[in-house]
Amino acid sequence: MLEEFSIQNYALIDRLVINFTSGFNVLTGETGAGKSILAGALSLLHGARADTGAIRTGADETLVSAVFNLRGNSEALTWLAEHGVEPEDDAVIVRRTVKRAGRGSIYVQNAPVTRADLEELSGLIFDLHGQHEHQSLLVAEQHRILLDRYAGIEQRVVQLGQQFSDLSGLKKRYDRMLASERERQREMDILEFAVREIEAAALRAEEEEQLENEKRILSQHEKLFGALDQIYDRLAENRGGAVGQVRAARHEMDTVVQIDDSLSAQAKRLDDLFFELEDVVESVRDYQSTVNYSSERLEQCEERLALIHRLEKKYGATVADVLDYLQEAQQQLSSLETWEDDKAALQRQISDGERALLSAARQISAERKRAAEQLGGSIEAIINTLGMAKARFSVAVEPRESASGKPSCGASGLDLVSFRIAANQGEPLKELKDIASGGEISRVMLAIKTVLAQNDHIQSLVFDEIDAGIGGEVAIAVGTHLHQLSRYKQVLCITHLASIAVRADNHIKVEKAPRDDRTVTRIDQIDGDQRIEEIARMLAGDRTGKTSRTHAEELLAKYGGGR
């Protein structure tokens, strides 16, 4: 419920605070006083796009805020919880700033939100209906939503939508599988060739380094053998080499140590050097005996290295990388080879999903058709009391069709729902969007809201000049229905008709007044004699005339004038 509405620097309004009550709230005033300006300001809290042209001349920004009591509105309270907003005693403050110089701001409590968030939340709190703004009622999808709410199947339709979404995802996945089949086969061919090529090479992790070393030895064998011979000649004992020279030096050192044992350590080092030289000579001789030159083996090494380098160029920088690629390719092949099994499993999932979706959609369709007849009859009965005595109203539930003309199931089921009306006797039923009269649309909307009052989660309804084009008994009937609706909902109504205003629980008078050489819109919550004067003005344009005052008093006495 809207408890308080505050406006600053909007059009003719410099600063206003309006307190609303539960039940029936009416705003009246002379034409041009600013009643619809109030509705325009409230639309900013309903998520409407901001118009900087509405910012009061001389001001840099407009600020609108409202206090909403959400007690009993489980949908709105759930929305707040999901967005981390904590109400205070079930109430929240919603604020919106529109800046002339740039982007404004929107807050719920102290949490910043987007305009889309505001639109979503406010849609759970109040409906705003202007004389020329009945978009929700003129959109066929809204008709389906209202029928589902009346039938009590909203949650099931949400679940059906999820089923439809899941099934659509499976079908897209299947289409991608089919579209990629040629690519899959091409990829398999490439992978299979790579696996065969690498497996045939029978690579070993350390093989490349070993082959490079062997190739280096074989390709320089003459130089290697020459160097080995030189080493042997310079070291070998029997050729006057270093071993023989060191042996002789050892013998002389023995003589020296016998004379002066202070050189015994050097003698020991000389012994170690002799034995090391002998070992080196032995190792060189053994190595010479193992190295055999073979032109065939050199050719084999070069061919093997060429193969390895070719594989590395295609599959990885090293033999280890090539072997890693082999493992990955084998895994990918295994996955691709299960494609047919995956496709068959996906086909089964789609088939099962289609059967489940169709079964649920048929049950929902049957319940819609039963509820449509009841809803249409109830709305027609109310419309007939609102100055459209011969009007007929119908809720049509027709099969949804594909482009080829065949029945199809969408996210909301098998049906297309539309509200249809024949406003005058002898006319065919037409869709609401084809009705030219704003007054007729307003009355249809009022009838729908009356019927759905106990099914609709929205707590507050705002009607901007719903009385357009009506008067007399019709106006009385509209006032009666608005008053009845206000027993279930908070109703805010901007009206020119006294027969509607007299039913108000809270009567707010809107007028223009001069202030500091400027014109401003002001409001007063009126009662007693002030209210009699305002009703008299609305009846005859005469606040103080005896006849108009008497008539005003009679209307207020007859229709209650509040609780």
Q: What tens digit of pLDDT does each residue of 248-288 get?
A: 788 888 888 888 888 889 889 988 888 888 888 788 777 76
Instruction: State mean pLDDT over 529-552.
Output: 87
- Residue 85's pLDDT is 92
* Res 231 pLDDT > 70: yes
3 state SS of 70: coil
The string of DSSP codes covering 260-315 is -GGGHHHHHHHHHHHHHHHHHHHHHHHHHHH----HHHHHHHHHHHHHHHHHHHHH
Closest among 94, 115, 96, 98 to 59, alpha carbons compared: 98
Q: Report percent pLDDT > 90 for the chain.
A: 32
- Cα 31 from chain centroid? 44
> What is the average pLDDT across 479-496?
89
* Domain residue spans of the chain: 1-125+458-530, 185-337
What 3-state DSSP class applies to 162?
helix
Per-residue pLDDT tens over the stretch 52-84: 888 988 899 999 999 999 998 888 999 999 999
The tens digit of pLDDT for each residue in 89-129 reads 999 999 999 998 878 999 999 999 999 999 989 988 988 87
Residue 552, pLDDT > 70, answer: yes
Does the pLDDT value for residue 232 go beyond 80? no
Say which residue, 397 or 476, is predicted with more confidence.
397
- What tokens does 29 get? 């005033």
Whole-number pLDDT of residue 307 = 83
Answer yes or no: is pLDDT of 394 > 80. yes
Are the CB atoms for 48 and 77 separated by under 8 Å? Answer: no
Return the higher-pLDDT residue of 5 and 252. 5
Question: In whole angstroms, how far apart are CA 188 and each of 192, 193, 378?
Answer: 6, 8, 66
**Predicted local distance difference test score (pLDDT) of residue 101:** 85
Q: Which residues touch 110 (CB under 8 Å, ≥6 apart)?
A: none
Q: What pLDDT digit, counting tens, does each position of 341-372 carry?
A: 888 889 999 999 999 999 999 999 999 999 99
Tokens representing 156?
Answer: 């099931």
At 318 the pLDDT is: 86
Closest C-alpha to 25, from 537, 555, 526: 526
Is pTM, for the whole model, over 0.85? no
How confident is the model at residue 293, as a pLDDT? 64
Share of the chain above pLDDT 70, in %: 92
Sign of the CA dihedral running 222, 227, 231, 233: positive
Closest C-alpha to 288, from 240, 238, 235:
235
Q: According to the model, what pLDDT value does residue 192 have? A: 85
CATH topology of domain 1-125+458-530: Rossmann fold (3.40.50)
Looking at residue 563, what is its pLDDT? 42
DSSP letter at 458 equals -
Is residue 436 scored above 80 in pLDDT?
no
Averaged pLDDT of the chain:
85
pLDDT tens per residue across span 289-302: 666 666 777 777 77
